[in-house]
Amino acid sequence: MTDLVRTSDPLTHAQKLAVVSINELKLHARVVEDDENALLAEFIEAAFDYLHGPEGWLNGYCLLSEEWEFYLPSTLKYNLEVPLRPFATLDAFEYLDSDGETYVAVASNRYRQVGYGDHRQIVRTSLPYPYFGTFHQRAYRVSVTAGHASAAEVPSPLRLAIKLLAAHFYQNREVMVIEKGSPMAFGLQSLAGRYRVSPDHS
- The rounded radius of gyration (Å) of the Cα atoms in the chain is 20
Collect all residues with Cβ–Cβ distance below 8 Å to 16 and sequence separation of at least 6.
44, 45, 48, 49, 64
Q: Rounded to an integer, what distance in angstroms lies between the CA atom of residue 118 and that of residue 61?
A: 9
The enclosing H or E element of 94 equals: strand 87-96
pTM metric for this prediction: 0.86
pLDDT tens profile 22-71: 999 999 999 999 999 999 999 999 999 999 999 999 999 999 999 999 99
Residue 118's identity, in one-letter code, is D
Partner residues linked to 145 by β-bridges = 67, 89
Nearest by Cα to 62 from 163, 144, 169: 144
Q: Please, where are the H alpha helices in the chain? A: 13-19, 22-29, 37-51, 156-171, 183-192
pLDDT tens profile 127-184: 999 988 889 999 999 999 999 999 999 999 999 999 999 999 888 766 555 555 555 5
Q: What is the pLDDT of residue 192?
A: 80
Helix pair 183-192, 156-171: axis angle to 10 deg: 160
